[in-house]
Amino acid sequence: MERVIISRRAEERILRGHPWAYQGEVSGGEKIPPGTVVAIGNRKGRVLGKGHYNPRSKIALRVLTRDPEEAIDISFFRRRIGRALGYRERYVFRPDTDCYRLVFAEADFLPGLIVDRFGLYLVVQILTAGMENHREVIVDVLQELLKPQGIYERSDVSVRELEGLPLRQGFIGPPFEPLVTVRENGLLLQVDLASGQKTGYFLDQRDNRVFLRHFVRDRRVLDCFSYIGGFSLHAAFFGAREVIGVDLSEEAIRCAVRNAQLNGLEKVVHFEVANAFDFLREMDRTGERFEVVILDPPAFVKSKQALSGALRGYKEINLRAMKIIAPGGILMTSSCSHHLSLELFRAVLEEASLDVKRRIRILAERGQALDHPVLLGYEESQYLKCLVVEVV
Ligand code: SAH
């Protein structure tokens, strides 16, 4: 097996549990083709484990195993995926919740691989040249362990280009109707696995949606960036008096309206296609007030460099939401940008609250749902922040 040598700095990071070494920290692999499994050596000649190597990527090495003897073969994938499945079956899957993230890449010790389960179907997303080389084995193991009715691939994300990979999307195996109905916390949701955003649905907010039950009863709720209605439907289900969901995507709103009907909640929940920034300003101008506002925008920060512009975006949207919240109302506000830390997010809220002259009390600081575990030592796996605050 080919061997690469990592720098001291990379070795320290990896020994502390991080799964990556960067370009410039890896030597001896200049001639090794992208995606090869290599032995990871330190400068003293000790082998630390095995990983996927890709000299084209800024993340040149991703650790697969810390056992130098462990073979990266079909049994490896059986063990890793089997363990990921065991965890979800024990803690996440319930008769009322049949969709979850089955494999959360590095945090499930399978760098570059995402697998989401939607009822009887699976969505696979392969992000690295290394995992691309194991694509068939992965599919075989998924068939074997889950016996899905169909698999759809959503390897259509631009990070693949950083690995030198083309974007790809489509059925793996026989085609099926990609509009599937799943259950989340007892609610029915129609999800479009082929043309929905990301892998079809934002599973990471599942537990935060349930958290709404503490404060939505009999209240008027505004769900900004609603997508296909996840938070809106939960709010209605937990007894909200009225819910308005807003999203820029017509396709998402069409789906959201169907989802409200599917659950018999169409009398309580209404959806509108609008830019959330404009919508909030309009609500303020016309004096509309809400007792609960939910903000779940897309990642405004895609890189460290883009942070300052994004901070303005987060401040703006939160400020506008605070303005239309009735005294003592609740703001449930999320950021899914890894680059925006919890501290910074809190500071953004503080600035916004000072501008609108309202006090803020933090009631809860939450993160990702159980099927998106955070691996200590790999802080990138912690990306979602959800603050629940009272706007006094
Ligand atoms: N809250 C959703 C997930 C939101 S993802 C859930 O629980 O499933 C972010 C959403 O914001 C996407 O649906 C996207 O279409 C929408 N979006 C992006 N920019 C927007 C804008 N300026 N105004 C309103 N919606 C926007």
Q: At 304, which CATH number?
A: 3.40.50.150
Cβ(378)–Cβ(18) under 8 Å?
Answer: yes
Cα pseudo-dihedral 358, 362, 363, 369, rounded to 10: 120
User: Do 41 and 172 sit in the same domain of this protein?
Assistant: no
- Is the distance from the beta carbon of residue 279 to the nearest atom of ligand 1 less than 6 Å? no
User: Do 14 and 114 sit in the same domain of this protein?
Assistant: no
Six-digit token pair at 63?
A: 């650790």
Say if 197 falls within a structural domain. no
Final residue in a domain of this structure, among 121, 147, 180: 180
* CATH number for position 123: 3.30.750.80
- Is the distance from the beta carbon of residue 273 to the nearest atom of ligand 1 less than 6 Å? no
Output the CA–CA distances (angstroms, integers) from residue 300 to 7, 183, 245, 248, in the order listed: 33, 29, 20, 15
User: Do 86 and 232 sit in the same domain of this protein?
Assistant: no
- Is the distance from the beta carbon of residue 345 to the nearest atom of ligand 1 less than 6 Å? no
Give the type of residue at 212. Answer: L
**What is the spatial distance between Cα 223 and Cα 352, in angstroms, rounded to a whole number?**
19
3-state secondary structure of 96: coil
Say if 192 falls within a structural domain. no
- Is the distance from the beta carbon of residue 205 to the nearest atom of ligand 1 less than 6 Å? yes
* 365 Cα–ligand 1 center, Å: 21
* 33 Cα–ligand 1 center, Å: 39
Six-digit token pair at 132?
A: 């691309």
Say if 245 falls within a structural domain. yes
User: Do 385 and 276 sit in the same domain of this protein?
Assistant: yes
* CATH number for position 7: 2.30.130.10
User: Do 346 and 308 sit in the same domain of this protein?
Assistant: yes
Helical packing angle, 74-91 and 135-146, nearest 10°: 40
Say if 195 falls within a structural domain. no
User: Do 48 and 111 sit in the same domain of this protein?
Assistant: no
Q: Domain range spanning residue 133? A: 74-180
Q: What is the pLDDT of residue 123?
A: 98
**What is the spatial distance between Cα 146 and Cα 81, in angstroms, rounded to a whole number?**
10
pLDDT per residue as tens, the chain (392 positions): 999 999 999 999 999 999 999 999 999 988 999 999 999 999 999 999 999 999 999 999 999 999 999 999 999 999 999 999 999 999 999 999 999 999 999 999 999 999 999 999 999 999 999 999 999 999 999 999 999 999 999 999 999 999 999 999 999 999 999 999 999 999 999 999 999 999 999 999 999 999 999 999 999 999 999 999 999 999 999 999 999 999 999 999 999 999 999 999 999 999 999 999 999 999 999 999 999 999 999 998 777 778 888 999 999 999 999 999 999 999 999 999 989 999 999 999 999 999 999 999 999 999 999 999 999 999 999 999 999 999 99
Cα pseudo-dihedral 186, 191, 196, 197, rounded to 10: 10
pTM for this one? 0.97
Output the CA–CA distances (angstroms, integers) from residue 23 to 32, 44, 270, in the order listed: 14, 20, 50
- Is the distance from the beta carbon of residue 325 to the nearest atom of ligand 1 less than 6 Å? no
Q: What is the pLDDT of residue 306?
A: 81
Say if 81 falls within a structural domain. yes
Please state the atom number of ligand 1 nearest to the C-alpha of residue 276: 23
Cα torsion 355, 356, 357, 358: sign: negative
Cβ(77)–Cβ(94) under 8 Å?
Answer: no
Say if 216 falls within a structural domain. yes
Say if 30 falls within a structural domain. yes
Output the CA–CA distances (angstroms, integers) from residue 173 to 130, 168, 176, 308, 338, in the order listed: 22, 14, 9, 44, 34
Helix ranges (DSSP H) in the chain: 8-15, 74-91, 129-133, 135-146, 159-162, 206-211, 230-237, 250-262, 276-285, 307-323, 342-356
Say if 379 falls within a structural domain. yes
Total of domains in the chain = 3
Kindly report the protein residue whose alpha carbon is nearest to atom 16 of ligand 1.
Answer: 225
- Reference 165, options 198, 200, 133; nearest CA is 133
Residue 371 burial (C-beta neighbours within 10 Å; 0-12, 13-18, 19+): buried
- How many Cα atoms occupy the beta-carbon half-sphere of 12 within 13 Å? 3
- How many Cα atoms occupy the beta-carbon half-sphere of 194 within 13 Å? 10
* 112 Cα–ligand 1 center, Å: 25
**What is the spatial distance between Cα 255 and Cα 17, in angstroms, rounded to a whole number?**
41
Final residue in a domain of this structure, among 65, 82, 100: 65
**Is 336 known to be catalytic?**
yes
User: Do 48 and 23 sit in the same domain of this protein?
Assistant: yes
User: Do 172 and 216 sit in the same domain of this protein?
Assistant: no
User: Do 78 and 61 sit in the same domain of this protein?
Assistant: no
User: Do 173 and 259 sit in the same domain of this protein?
Assistant: no
User: Do 260 and 336 sit in the same domain of this protein?
Assistant: yes
Final residue in a domain of this structure, among 65, 83, 112: 65
User: Do 382 and 241 sit in the same domain of this protein?
Assistant: yes
Residue 322 burial (C-beta neighbours within 10 Å; 0-12, 13-18, 19+): buried
**What is the spatial distance between Cα 246 and Cα 277, in angstroms, rounded to a whole number?**
10
